Amino acid sequence: MSRIDYKSILTLRFVFENLNRDLKLLFFSNLIGAFGDGLYFYILPLHMEELGAGSVEIGILFSALGLAAAFTPLLGGFLADKYDRKKVMILGWLIWLPTPIILSLAQNWSQLLPGMILYGCWIGQPASSAYIATATEKDKMTLAFTTISASWSLGYIFSPALGGYLSTLVGMKHVFGLSFVFYALCTLGLFFISGQHATKKPSQPHAPTPFRKKKIIIWAVFFAAIMFVITLARPFVTLFLKDELHFDRFHIGVLGSVTFLGSAILAVTLGRLGDKWRKAGAVSVSIMLVCASFIGLLFFRNFFALVFPFFLMGATYMFWSLMGAVVGSMAPEASRGRWMSVSQTTCMLAAILAPYLGGILYDASPHTPFIVAVAATPLLSILALSKLLKED
């Protein structure tokens, strides 16, 4: 759109104009799954605390999730290049399906570990990323990835507030049960998309050229640094709101909903920026939005004053899709799933210790994890625009 098309914005037509039938179905399937996910995941640290976990134990639980998420994409990437990517995505959701039930049965924080590990089994992630990249034109890839990412954010807009309210009304066990229902519906929706197999085109090499390969690895390490900084602080946002600002679950859930509203809107906006300007530019702007959001969290104490920082905090959920756009545009189709899994595994390896370290910092002072993140993000933003991370 060369001019602002307000009618298009109001009808959300601009969200779907670059998605084919299968990607639209994937969008709505993810939206349903994200709604179920958001019912419990945003307030999960509070549930952990109720089961006897302190800040260090909460860090351990999220590190366990990160450990599983670090290694399972490698298997998922292999499967995505060898078998039907649709079936691999369905397998990923079938593995996730029991997670809320397992979490609901825990009687103490240590019994949450199996559920957190299962939640981190991201076998379907490389297949999903490769599916999107293959189904999208290269010059529209950033927008396609961020739009699909926005489906998750849209699903999360109302669910954290609803989950927080329902947890106080009927208890977390029922919230977990409702999440299971939405997980099942999401899984069912994936059966209606078309199959997709990796193909080798005559003009394509079997692997990236050495220079291209090096670029993918450099970008993967860079996104890993971003993920480390984010997961150092983000798991403790809800605890900070409860411990320092004394908000109840409902208000914490509302701010969570604001965060995912911001993520949905920012995703499409920065997706367009990445395709029209540079992907590195969209990454750099996203990092500075994260910095601004944490500054607002540290300095504002009023609920209404925090609405805008939490809107900007939606940028913390965008880097997975931005990474998919960058790597997807560089990796050859025949091995796209594997290269997606390499970048995803690199990110999650960096994120394994971050929540545990963040828990130690939070235990020393609730402000410290966010101060460290605020100090690191400007450097990462500058690095995103450096010659080291040129896309071509």
pLDDT over 80 at 324, yes or no: no
pLDDT at position 336 is: 73
- For tokens 């909903």, name the residue: 257
Judge whether 7 lies within some domain. no
What pLDDT, on the 0 to 100 scale, is given for residue 13? 55
Q: Would residue 142 count as lying in a domain?
A: yes
- Quote the DSSP letter at residue 195: P
Q: 7 falls in which pLDDT band (50, 70, 90)?
A: very low
Q: Is residue 6 part of a domain?
A: no
Q: Is residue 2 predicted with pLDDT exceeding 60?
A: no
The pLDDT value given to residue 250:
80
Domain that holds residue 100: 18-197+208-389
Both tokens of residue 268? 């499409």
The answer to whether position 203 is within a domain reads no
Q: What is the pLDDT of residue 295?
A: 95
Asked if the model's pLDDT at residue 117 lies above 60, the reply is yes
Domain at 141, CATH number: 1.20.1250.20
**Is 139 exposed, middle or buried (CB count within 10 Å of its CB: 0-12, 13-18, 19+)?**
exposed
At residue 228, does pLDDT exceed 60? yes
Secondary structure (3-state) at 227: helix
With H, G, I as helix, E, B as strand and everything else as coil, classify residue 378.
Answer: helix
- Mean pLDDT for the stretch of residues 354-369: 89
Evaluate if residue 224 carries a pLDDT over 50.
yes
**What single string gives the DSSP state of each residue in 248-273?**
-HHHHHHHHHHHHHHHHHHHHHHHHH
| Interval 135-160 mean pLDDT | 79
- The answer to the question of residue 4 being in a domain is no
pLDDT at 138 over 80: no
pLDDT above 90: percentage of residues in the chain: 27
pLDDT of residue 279: 78
- Tens of pLDDT, residue by residue over 164-222, are 888 888 888 899 999 999 999 999 999 998 988 877 654 444 555 555 678 888 888 88
Determine if the pTM surpasses 0.85: no
**Number of structural domains the chain divides into:** 1
At 159, which amino acid appears?
A: S
Q: How distant is the alpha carbon of residue 323 from its chain centre? A: 11
- pLDDT band of 155, cuts 50, 70, 90: confident
pLDDT of residue 342: 80
Q: Is residue 314 domain-resident?
A: yes
In a domain, 118, yes or no: yes
Mean residue pLDDT of the chain comes to 83
8 is a domain residue: no
Q: Is the pLDDT of residue 48 over 70?
A: yes
Contacts of 43 (CB under 8 A, 6+ apart): 160, 163, 164, 167, 238, 249, 252, 253, 256
Which pLDDT tens digit goes with each residue over 89-105?
A: 999 999 999 999 999 99
Instruction: Give residue 4's pLDDT.
Output: 38
